[in-house]
Amino acid sequence: MDNPLAANALGVAGAVCWSVQLLPQILLNHRRHSATGLQPTMMLLWASAGVLLGVYNIVSGFTLALQIQPQILCGLSLVTWIQCHYYERRWTKRRCVMVILPVAGSMAGLEVGLIFALRAGMMRGVVWPVTLTAVLAALFLALGVLRHYLDIWRHRTVRGISFLFVGLDALGDLTSLISLVFQP
């Protein structure tokens, strides 16, 4: 179905859902003063995926919404990751800041470096590394979710996950997939 307006609207809706999906989880962790059941590995993998997806979306020249969304995903994933350490491992606020700032700075530097490197490669006709960043981003997202499913299987229950977070993630998936149907 060739309807670019519908494709764009649904794509933006998906990006918005994926951008804010972690906010309910962050608020739930804060209210409960606990991140029980939330896997720090998942959040770190998602933050890493955000870096790679950001590189791919920027180098590919996608819309501004799709260039910004991975940055938000990365940032909120890092906040959720550090909450796991603060609430579950009882890290001090100072230690959390001393860890999160260099991690976030390193991720930002890596993203900028990869953008310049991949653009230089593209000017020479080398495009496979761009595709590799998208594949790795998808792999990291999948591994993050798989890590959480492993926890569900081990404990035979879903612990500490905001169902609003899960719903927003699923809605983002659905609207993004439907947007592909309307692509020209």
The predicted-structure confidence for 49-102, as pLDDT tens digits, reads as follows: 999 999 999 999 887 878 888 999 999 999 999 999 999 999 999 999 999 999
Residue 88: what pLDDT?
A: 96
- Helices in the chain by DSSP H: which ranges? 4-20, 23-32, 40-59, 64-83, 93-123, 128-155, 163-181
Contacts of 38 (CB under 8 A, 6+ apart): 25, 29, 80, 83, 84, 148, 160, 161
DSSP character for 153? H
* Ranges in the chain, pLDDT < 70: none
CA 172 to chain centre: 12
Domain map (residue ranges) of the chain? 4-182
Residue 65: what pLDDT?
A: 79
Residue 157: what pLDDT?
A: 77
Reported pTM:
0.88
Residue 182: what pLDDT?
A: 83
What's the token pair of residue 157?
A: 């229950």
Average pLDDT, the chain: 91
Residue 109: what pLDDT?
A: 98
Measured distance CA(108)–CA(110) in Å, rounded? 5
